[in-house]
Structure 1
């Protein structure tokens, strides 16, 4: 497979480019306005284009990865789909539900895969968590999430509303996706409040999402505190706790804390790469021509993110 990358994000050079050879990608075409280059010679051929339009017209790639500031996702994704490419787009895929639905409709009509790169649950620890609940004969009913970090540098695009900045866009997908993943449902009710406001965008928010059957997610998310990144998953007779839940690091064994009537225990998982797991799953869907599940996930999270923004008083 040849991959066309639109954008030169840090996440592409640091986490995605190194894994591509092991996933069957044989060459990469790259179009970036910044002109950024990889810090070291990549392990596969890398060709550069001056702009995305020229790349879409001139690259023989089967798939496109859109990894730009949030405000450019829509136009680039729609152009890539229109030209017949499968597309993976960084989260948040789109800044409004109408655009998400338009892109999904185009992908479905053309028989193309469209996937949002929300990768955190592709780490093996989450398979271990699901097995722990299955072994206990239980299912999750309550989720409690915290993802907050110190302020970003002043020049970061996440401070700029015209670039799709603000923590509801940056961290909102981590509030929208856990209920889909663990409950298999979208929320019945959504409550959200901005906790802190920067000069131009919100810098922190809290939310409560209520799901069918009395299930719930509570969350605190922001970019104005010390670093915290954890998820608690609770159910009958079992409580699980994970640190670094939403950004599992490379090269580090991760633990899963489990507490049941038999007492507490800890399961340890060998180092793994959630990005590799996600892209392997997406590339398999492209090969099989079966992207319905990925498209449904994108739309479900887009609907929930839209409701979070409305509940917080944001425009759609």
Structure 2
């Protein structure tokens, strides 16, 4: 069993990682830490953690901890990831990995130097629906891939910390990163061209962003994200012989399916339709934890996990391009 220590007690911890760990057969919730007085102790009792701490340093100093989860704000990811690596703890770090590529590279280098695994916490990659969809694309089920269309948006409270640039705020960092991650995964390559435009908040972060990516073999991706639009979470993979549509792409429900259309008929919607392909039900956080633990046991990062540095390169390039057009 991989013994986990969690560096924080926030929403994503309660909603995602704690159920992911406790629902896994390969991990154990060993310790919780919070810098807010009394919170870690209360959460430890509620969720069954063996230990609780009032500082993150105490978790890193605990010899019984094998791996840590870093859910803190983006401006502290590098600090705690590097400290965890120096303490010989494997790191599952929340997205986006860092504030910029330089930080991400420093984090990855520290983990390599100290022989620990670094995985960016893109839980959606590990769901059975994504693995099955990727296999279908790779096996040519919809013909050669031509278009990837990803949308992720929701309306955000204007006092939210994610509108503060110094803390790593912005729609692209928070939700646009999913679309970029999806495009890279299904294209199976890194983009050769990146173009981006945005609508900006008064604080200086992007509220809405559109990104256009070109990949080798002329696979094109259109990605949009927003903090000022209705909830949308969709991924479409378009090939020369059909398409795959994933609703709630990054937040699958218990009964999620793969919608597939085969052929290129131009009949009306009533004549076409999408076939629903069922997939095994699994909590994507459980799947993420189990894949992460498998990488720890293997001594190397296994697919579909990745350290996040390549994703950061695309995000930074897109942000710089959008800023140049502001």
| TM-score normalised by L of structure 1 | 0.90
> Is 1:15 aligned with 2:20?
no
Instruction: Flag the 1:295–1:281 CA change in 2: closer, same or farther, 3 A.
Output: closer
Once the two structures are TM-superposed, the CA of residue 265 in structure 1 deviates from its matched residue by: 1.6
Unaligned ranges ≥5, structure 2: 266-271
CA distance, structure 1, for counterparts of residue 282 and residue 154 of structure 2: 23
> Is 1:153 aligned with 2:157?
yes
Deviates more, 1:153-162 or 1:263-272: 263-272
Aligned ranges for residues 260-271 of structure 1 at < 5 Å?
A: 260-261=262-263, 264-271=274-281
Instruction: Flag the 1:242–1:40 CA change in 2: closer, same or farther, 3 A.
Output: farther
Instruction: Flag the 1:48–1:296 CA change in 2: closer, same or farther, 3 A.
Output: closer
Once the two structures are TM-superposed, the CA of residue 96 in structure 1 deviates from its matched residue by: 0.8
Deviates more, 1:162-171 or 1:183-192: 162-171
**Cα RMSD (Å):** 2.2
8 Å Cα contact 2:257/2:277 also seen in 1? yes
Once the two structures are TM-superposed, the CA of residue 132 in structure 1 deviates from its matched residue by: 3.5
Once the two structures are TM-superposed, the CA of residue 311 in structure 1 deviates from its matched residue by: 1.1
8 Å Cα contact 2:75/2:168 also seen in 1? yes
- 140, 145, 148: which one aligns with 1:140: 145
Once the two structures are TM-superposed, the CA of residue 144 in structure 1 deviates from its matched residue by: 0.6
| TM-score normalised by L of structure 2 | 0.88
Deviations 1:193-222 (A, max 9, x none): 112424442211011011111111101101
**Corresponding residue of 1:233:** 237
Deviations 1:122-177 (A, max 9, x none): 21112332343426373422101111112x22442212222211112112321321
8 Å Cα contact 1:113/1:295 also seen in 2? no
CA distance, structure 1, for counterparts of residue 133 and residue 59 of structure 2: 42
- 91, 102, 106: which one aligns with 1:102: 106
| Aligned residue pair count | 310
Misfit runs of 4+, over 6 Å: none
Q: Secondary structure at the match of 2:178?
A: helix
**Corresponding residue of 1:34:** 36
**Corresponding residue of 1:256:** 258
> Is 1:307 aligned with 2:317?
yes
